[in-house]
Amino acid sequence: MAEEQWTARLVLEDGHVFEGQSFGSAGESYGEIVFNTGMTGYQEILTDPSYYGQIVTMTYPLIGNYGLNVDDVESRGPHVRGFVVREFSEVPSHFRSMDNLSGYLKKNGIIGISGVDTRKITKLIRTEGTMRAVLTTLDTPKEELLRRLSEPLQKDQIDQVTTQSTYRCPGGDRRIVAMDFGMKSGVVRSLLARDCDVIVVPARTTAEEILSWNPHGVMLSNGPGDPQDAQYAIETVSKLMGKVPIFGICLGHQLIALASGAQTKKMRFGHRGVNHPVKDLRTGKIAITSQNHGYMVDPDSLGDTDLALSHVNQNDGTVEGLVHRYLPVFCVQYHPEARPGPDDSDYLFDDFMKMVDDYRQGRWIPYAEKS
Ligand SMILES: NC(=O)CC[C@H](N)C(=O)O
């Protein structure tokens, strides 16, 4: 049966208005508009907590055709503020499918819009940069929508998506504390697949509390928002550095950089997709990576730090990975857990395990001594 549909409008901060059909929920929703270039993976994208507060536009023109299932979620539910597609498929066809896109969004109170020119929206974001936007099925006048769009964005995104309490995912012999800044479940899955006993702690857990678990390693997760808004986390990371091996991904990478004295800055439109080529400068190998970020580490700020550049984006030369010269700390800007995306970078979890084991057995060698 056809889902209920309303006319929906997408209004961008710069005044552009796109009219289409709504699917999913009705109402009005504000956020930062971004685009993702993945051809598939919409379920993982919807449920990646790093998208909290954002309206996501998919550049691939047909979304929803393989439906949704309970296995491919990256957290408890969707976190996007809105979903923009050229065409959505109302009748999915896949043996694992249990729901359709519009039903899923509706159940979760998320507004979708289809029938809009996603290519034009993407080009606007590429030239003008990430903007604020509103998706609405209401009659609110455009001037009023634009006025509301000029209100400041919320700054406590991590608090909205981190776990409320500590929990444990029992596994093997390596005890890893994972700081949850809005962690994708693929991160925990990657650790559990490698004989780890994972203790997931809320973002505001102190370094002392973390160390009281006597972890063999600490994982710093991905997460939403501007890393500079999470001063408490930067402080925690700086206290942990040198006490325990640390691996950071995405927001975790940015926090390590900030804790080491480097700077981060907002990108014009970020990297969101599943085919970003990244070179590991230590091996010369290029991996195709899964990415979702709007901030980056400023390469010019690395000079006065103890961090060495380990990975570089082959499209635009941006910083994709760092390694500490003297401490057991390394990080990447992208998603080695690859949900969605290719698992070329799975080896980074193996590198983390090696670092954890070597450190535990007193045979870990600092990067500065290796290079
Ligand atoms: N996936 C992430 O961890 C994103 C990090 C940060 N919120 C950014 O947009 O750059």
Is the pLDDT score of 5 beyond 80? Answer: no
SS3 content of the chain, % helix, strand, coil (to 5): 25, 30, 40
Is the sign of the CA dihedral 172, 75, 162, 313 positive or negative? Answer: positive
- Interval 9-37 mean pLDDT: 97
pLDDT recorded at residue 6: 81
Q: Which helix (H) or strand (E) holds 296?
A: strand 286-297
- Work out the pLDDT band at 319, boundaries 50, 70, 90: very high
Is the pLDDT score of 239 beyond 80? Answer: yes
- Interval 133-150 mean pLDDT: 96
Torsion of CA 342, 346, 347, 348, to 10 degrees: 110
- Which residues have CB under 8 Å from 143's CB, separation 6+? none
Is the pLDDT score of 216 beyond 90? Answer: yes
Is the pLDDT score of 2 beyond 60? Answer: no
Query: What is the C-alpha to C-alpha distance for residues 160 and 165, in angstroms, rounded to an integer?
Result: 13
Please say whether the beta carbons of 16 and 30 come within 8 A.
no
- Establish whether 335 is a catalytic residue: yes
Tally of residues, the chain: 371
DSSP state of 371: -
Residue 319 Cα distances to 38, 42, 120, 279, angstroms: 21, 26, 28, 10
Q: What's the pLDDT tens digit per position in 154-174?
A: 789 999 999 999 999 999 999
Q: What are phi and psi of 160, to 5 degrees?
A: -80, -20
Residue 211 burial by Cβ neighbours in a 10 Å radius (0-12, 13-18, 19+): middle
pLDDT recorded at residue 1: 43
Give nearest CA residue, ligand 1 atom 3. Answer: 222
Place of tokens 């290079």: 371
DSSP state of 241: B
Query: What is the C-alpha to C-alpha distance for residues 148 and 130, in angstroms, rounded to an integer?
Result: 17
Residues having CB within 6 Å of any atom of ligand 1: 50, 222-225, 250-251, 292-295
**Alpha carbon 301 to chain centroid distance?**
23
Choice among 250, 311, 324, 331 that is catalytic: 250
pLDDT recorded at residue 4: 59
What's the whole-number average pLDDT of the chain?
A: 96
3-class SS at 118? helix
pLDDT recorded at residue 152: 81
Kindly give the interhelix angle for 251-259 and 231-240, rounded to the nearest 10 degrees.
70
Q: Name the token pair of 168.
A: 């444990």
Q: What's the pLDDT tens digit per position in 254-312?
A: 999 999 999 999 999 999 999 999 999 999 999 999 999 999 999 999 999 999 999 99
Q: Which of 292, 335, 337 for a ligand 1 pocket mutation test, highest count of atoms within 8 Å of Cβ?
A: 292
Please say whether the beta carbons of 131 and 32 come within 8 A.
yes
- Establish whether 16 is a catalytic residue: no
Domains, the chain, ordered by start? 7-149 (3.50.30.20), 157-370 (3.40.50.880)
Is the pLDDT score of 201 beyond 70? Answer: yes
The binding site comprises 50, 223, 225, 251, 254, 292, 294-295
| Closest by Cα among 33, 97, 91 to 70 | 97
pLDDT recorded at residue 3: 53
Taking the complete model, does pTM exceed 0.95, yes or no? yes
Give nearest CA residue, ligand 1 atom 8. Answer: 293
Expressed in angstroms and rounded, the spacing between residue 295 Cα and the centre of ligand 1 is 6
- Establish whether 32 is a catalytic residue: no
- Interval 204-210 mean pLDDT: 98
